[in-house]
Chains A and B, each alone.
Chain A
């Protein structure tokens, strides 16, 4: 027990950040599972984080309420942005969400209420158990979602949108719903991050964070609910692991990061999670199709 406490004292912040990153990665997974490549989730996290932060700092709202409002605001923005943007596909959708993300970031730099480029100072409220409670909730939600009508609809959309539409799946409705769900989860995660780090700045929610979320998903695997968590945990802990085995700080760590991503995309298209799932024999009919 004492060892555990000591471990936590040393690695507490890494454990917290693994949780936050896993939450964010899960939020992106909702859209990825539907075949939508969004680079806007960092911005949604920012919207949630700033909303929650401003509500706590300026309006003295209780923690739970400000986190929920953050998620709600992010979901609403997801609806407003999603409706027009989701007509685009593939790379074009990625670019539109990226542009949206940049606009949000620049707005945060220029607005007074967000504290501009220096950021917003927020009291620390988030505890480790809260992060992991939320993570468990989200993971459970995603695991269950896969077996629902909505979940199957999203998967069918990823496989073939035209065919899914022919089977009576309301594409726009499903897409916007997935986008909003992802935005809400990102917003909640952003709110928790804001109350964890004492300080949020617009840089915390920029393009490269959005890319990081994508990397977590790819490395872990997008097809199962624990994939993104696995990816986020591995890559967030990687600097500590490398330090543990005596690799000095600096370019090498970055290199290892890139190499892992490259190897996974080349040799394990379904991510590290596919190492753990036993390959179920595919029925002959399905394989032919």
Chain B
């Protein structure tokens, strides 16, 4: 029983990181209908930069975290400018955007290798003071709580931003109908740039939290989360932010539960992808997504 409770809690912790990663993914898809496959590369770059800032720069994680997040956001702007703006007027921009994001992912990944090397690294000992609590037979560390709180805080801020501010309203308008938004005087290109900034910053934050949680970062760490992130946004519904959060936690739980039930980690991803496959067939709009008449 305790073991199960422990697993469930671990699932929520890792699920919140997945959710944070997936929110960025789904934001761009919701606004542009484009799958940004370079998202995972930004995730990796931000995580590795944070390690570099702490280790070589000697900064505290409390400064390194926002700095690396900001840098990830700026990378998002670069990504938008290089890979997506030139293609926007093209008829097949959904497809060519996917391809150019793959190209940028390769370029970013080569930058990771060039700047930080191929070996896996970790945050230096004591970057974050870790306390361990035992509550009712369940072990929780302050690091885990901090990760969930940070992820939750970022998501609440994002939610308020999207719901309450003028820019957020404009983002929703562009997502709804780009042309109508433009006719109403929304600066569509600026809004799309904003979206990329926010999306990539969130992805970068997820990368740092992921690195703190697993205590290991490498140039290929984006590869596994890339597929998981896709699964999460399909599960939650493409373009739906609450769906991405819910999907992230559900995915985290399904991972730990599969391990707990089967006793091995081999089938962990199989369950997730089988669920993904089934959802696509039965309800392509996901759990919380809007049903579109025609999936273009």
Contacts and interface: CB of A to CB of B under 8 A. Distances in A.
Interface of A: 37, 84-85, 87-92, 94-96, 98-100, 102-103, 106-107, 109-110, 207-208, 211, 214-215, 218, 250-255, 257-259, 261-262, 265-266, 269
B22 to A, nearest CB: 13
A220 to B, nearest CB: 13
Contacts of B113: 250-251, 254
B273 A103 contact: yes
A100 B278 CA distance: 10
A88 to B, nearest CB: 6
Nearest to A37: B95
Interface of B: 29, 33, 35, 82-83, 86-87, 90, 92, 94-96, 98-100, 102-107, 109-111, 113-114, 223, 227, 230-231, 234, 238, 266-267, 269-270, 273-274, 276-277, 280-281, 284, 295-296
Contacts, number: 120
A85 B277 CA distance: 9
Given A90-B295, A251-B113, A266-B86, A95 B266 contact: no
Contacts of A96: 277, 280-281
Contacts of A269: 90, 92, 96
A161 B106 CA distance: 32
A37 B295 CA distance: 14
B92 to A, nearest CB: 8
B277 to A, nearest CB: 4
A252 B95 CA distance: 26
16 contacts: A85-B280, A89-B295, A89-B296, A91-B94, A95-B280, A99-B274, A99-B277, A106-B266, A106-B273, A110-B267, A207-B227, A254-B106, A255-B114, A258-B106, A262-B83, A262-B107
Contact of A95 (B83, B102, B230): B230
A208 B86 CA distance: 26
B99 A103 contact: no
Contacts of B281: 84-85, 87, 96
Consensus secondary structure, chain A interface: helix
Nearest to B108: A258
Q: Which of A215, A255, A258, A261 has the most CB of B within 10 A?
A: A258
A131 to B, nearest CB: 27
Contacts of B296: 89-90
A259 B103 contact: yes
A94 B280 CA distance: 11
A116 to B, nearest CB: 9
Contacts of B238: 91-92
Contacts of A102: 227, 269-270, 273
Contacts of A207: 227
Contacts of B87: 265-266
B86 to A, nearest CB: 5
B231 to A, nearest CB: 7
Nearest to A261: B103
Contacts of B295: 88-90, 92
Contacts of A266: 86-87, 100
B231 A99 contact: yes
Nearest to A255: B110
Contacts of A103: 270, 273-274, 277
A57 B270 CA distance: 27
B111 A251 contact: yes
A158 to B, nearest CB: 10
Nearest to B264: A110
B148 to A, nearest CB: 27
Contacts of A254: 106, 109-110, 113
A106 B100 contact: no
B100 A262 contact: yes
A253 B227 CA distance: 24
B267 A106 contact: yes
B280 A257 contact: no
Contact of A92 (B103, B267, B280): B280
Given A98-B227, A102-B269, A110-B270, A91 B280 contact: no
Contacts of B223: 208
Contact of B280 (A88, A107, A250): A88
B26 to A, nearest CB: 12
Contact of B270 (A37, A107, A218): A107
A153 to B, nearest CB: 20
A211 B231 contact: no
